Structure 1
């Protein structure tokens, strides 16, 4: 079985510049260069897309349709994070073992779009 890389949908693949507009409303274009990056990653890894949209009725279908419309090929789309070698998410912190600064990092966190 191929090793898996998990990519979050909103903010990593879908540029999400319009922010949340509904489970099946995905109005924005892909993040620049993400299609090509995913193609490169898929040469060595299984690529799974996850989205909290998929927990709601119509969300899974909407994400798959958006990926198809933008001709972005992935290996699977899920609501939950499967085991993986790495998770790519625009709203994540890498835990570095420093518990003393964790609250500060949470309070001052910004996505790449907010910087």
Structure 2
């Protein structure tokens, strides 16, 4: 069985340039090049998409429909993060063992859209 790579939906796959519009309102196009990147990643790994949208009624279906609309094929869409070798998220920091510096990193954090 292939190892798993988990991709967050909003901000990694869905460009999320309009911000939050509702659980089942996904107005923006994909991030440039993400369809091709996922296709390549799937040659080596199982690709799972996670989204907090999926915790709410209609969210899971909305994410799946959006992926279908843009021809993006993944192995699974879930509400929770399963065990994986890596998690790709636009709102995450990599913990480097520097606990005293963590608050500073949190305060300086910006998503790729905000840079």
TM category (shorter chain) comes to over 0.9
Q: Is there any run of 5+ residues in structure 1 with no aligned partner, and where?
A: none
Tell me how far apart the structure 2 counterparts of residues 101 and 112 of structure 1 sit (CA, whole Å).
Answer: 21
Tell me how far apart the structure 1 counterparts of residues 58 and 100 of structure 2 sit (CA, whole Å).
Answer: 41
Measure how far apart 1:108 and its partner are.
Answer: 1.2
Q: Is there any run of 5+ residues in structure 2 with no aligned partner, and where?
A: none
State TM-score, norm by structure 1: 0.99
1:1-115 paired onto structure 2 within 5 Å: 1-115=1-115
Tell me how far apart the structure 1 counterparts of residues 72 and 20 of structure 2 sit (CA, whole Å).
Answer: 21
Measure how far apart 1:107 and its partner are.
Answer: 1.0
Tell me how far apart the structure 2 counterparts of residues 80 and 15 of structure 1 sit (CA, whole Å).
Answer: 20
State TM-score, norm by structure 2: 0.99
What number of residue pairs does the alignment pair up?
A: 115
Tell me how far apart the structure 1 counterparts of residues 66 and 72 of structure 2 sit (CA, whole Å).
Answer: 9
After TM superposition, the runs of 4+ consecutive aligned structure 1 residues lying more than 6 A away are none
Tell me how far apart the structure 1 counterparts of residues 45 and 19 of structure 2 sit (CA, whole Å).
Answer: 29
**Alpha carbon RMSD of aligned pairs, Å?**
0.3
